[in-house]
Structure 1
Amino acid sequence: MRILLTGGAGYIGSHIAVLLLGLGHEVTIYDNLSNSDRSVLGRISKIAGKTPDFFDADVNDSDVLEGVLRNQNIESVIHLAGLKAVGESVSYPLEYFKNNVSGIISLLGAMNRANVKSLIFSSSATVYGNPSYLPLDEEHPTCAVNPYGRTKLHCEEILSDIANSDSSWRISSLRYFNPVGAHDSGLLGDNPSGKPNNLAPYLMRVAAGTLDHVVIFGDDYETLDGTGVRDYIHVVDVAEGHCAALTELGDRELPFNVFNLGTGYGHSVFQMLAAFENVSTIKIPYIVGPRRPGDVASCFASTEKATEFLGWAAKKTLKDMCLSAWNFQKNRSF
């Protein structure tokens, strides 16, 4: 299959690209490199033994997208391009709506004109907002509590409306929980530009000595140790979830569906910190700051639907996540 990955040079996209190439698919990456760099393409090629086609362009340029879809004979799209940090979205909501919501409108217009109607969307567990119950299943009410989550929820609503208007579409929205870890080769991992917004890469850079300490946003939540609890999932498991969803798209009758990608259990910030200390054998300094606007106390998935419909379940452990992330950090010579 000929697949377009928007944002394919990023953290999650690069891992998906490696898996798809290994399965024999033809992969085209479309990325403006705002949070990645060209060296990722060479590392993807080194792992997969194949080189994906690449276009340096913005997802909001609908005409360019349409041209790529037509000229590359794309059959299916995995849409990962977008901004993704909760705290940053609170400070810069307009940028998030422009990139995430306008971006998917641009993509859908291009896909519709090019008659490409197979799409997997990178969504987020933030669409659920403050949990009414745990674990979170796909029937849980959606009520995002921060701009990032609202952009993802708006995108899902647009996708649902598109699918309802035209039954020839086949769309899956994958609600990620918290991807961490890295490829076993040590060549691909979470390497954000500037100061990281997510916990795992921040821990790694503190352990490596490039940042002084970790800030823990709140230790007074109603959790086992007062810090936020999240469902951390290995990025390779997330990538495999996309491959499973791609297969399921071709076999189903419903035009639109949503699936959680998580492990089904949560770990607190302090537990994550301890796990990284164990694999790195380095004491990681931290300070406790105030709660961050838009955060919730606990969030972890019910994964039964993905197992039933996609035949997928996360396999890797928290130790696997930490070891692979630390291996990537130690081997960052690029």
Structure 2
Amino acid sequence: MPKITIIAGARPNFVKIAPIIKAIEKAKVAGGKIHFRLVHTGQHYDKKMSGSFFKQLGIPEPHVNLEAGGGSQAEQTANIMVRFEKELEENPADVVLVVGDVTSTMACSIVAKKLNTQVVHVEAGIRSSDQRMPEEINRIVTDSITDHFFTTSEIANVNLRKGGVEQERIHFVGNTMIDTLLSNMERFIDPEIKIRGEALQEKQYFVLTLHRPANVDEEEKLKDMMQAIIDGTGDLPVIFPVHPRTAKILQNLGIEHHRLHYVEPLSYLEFNFLVKNAKAVITDSGGITEETTVMGVPCMTLRDNTERPETITMGTNELVGTDPKNLKPYLDKLMSGEWKKGGEIPLWDGKTAERIVEKLLAIY
């Protein structure tokens, strides 16, 4: 019976591991010999990540929370490693399963390997080729010591093969984030945002998310970007679920407009209701580009690179860049009804977690 320790450190991690836990429980009911322990590193404190968050996604409460958040990159990495080492020594596993590219992913992988425990990386092989991003360092380090790689796309497979990984250790399974999206689509919750007393109209508003330092830390650039967004979105409202850190920056800069509406961060089911019914999304997030592609919602990514190029080549996403001047032609194209439709991405079908658990049972 393989004993698997599943690591999650931030909200997107839990969205990715939710279907894996469900698939493990389903396999156990069918007689599969598999056991898991869920470890929350506590990397990110998120007041929305309460018991109701776990309930919404059908995830059991973590077996342990290491409470290793806060501090600099180095301090956080060290705290996670020290606390996870103790956790893994007290609760040995055959496999440590990590997802995505947060600090917890890298830190727990290093600890596992030093304790001679196998590492499985879900969402392995994705690359932005930009080592200024902490996530890119986390991906490279994690993949350099991973035993089995579960990938979301053929592009990721190619990246791994170029890095010398043998084909038999690469398992193209699809995208667990899409499993969660598809299984919850009928359960999305209308956040009931009202503009001057009126409810939002379907496809008659934009959703905006910004959090990356390249976009929010340079004041003049942020001002110019916000102005470009306001100028290019016609007379439609722009709904901005804003992180407290970003909210403070925007407040200090006095960035306001009657069509720009700041709202509190939303729950998973509320945020995706908003996205599904939007005219378009403007974002600097990677994960949102995957969700918009599957929901067929136009998306503009305010970054100079992406680790998810399939959302551009096969999906509804376009890479705009971080220069505010780049945005206008994309918004013009959207407003004139000329945005690309996008198509289906192989194995983004809601069955990824089942393939992962099937493969884990075959390997271990």
- Provide TM-score, normalisation by structure 2: 0.39
| Structure with max Cα Rg | 2
- Provide TM-score, normalisation by structure 1: 0.42
Per chain length, whose mean CA-contact separation is higher, i.e. which structure has more relative contact order (CA < 8 Å, sep 6+)?
1
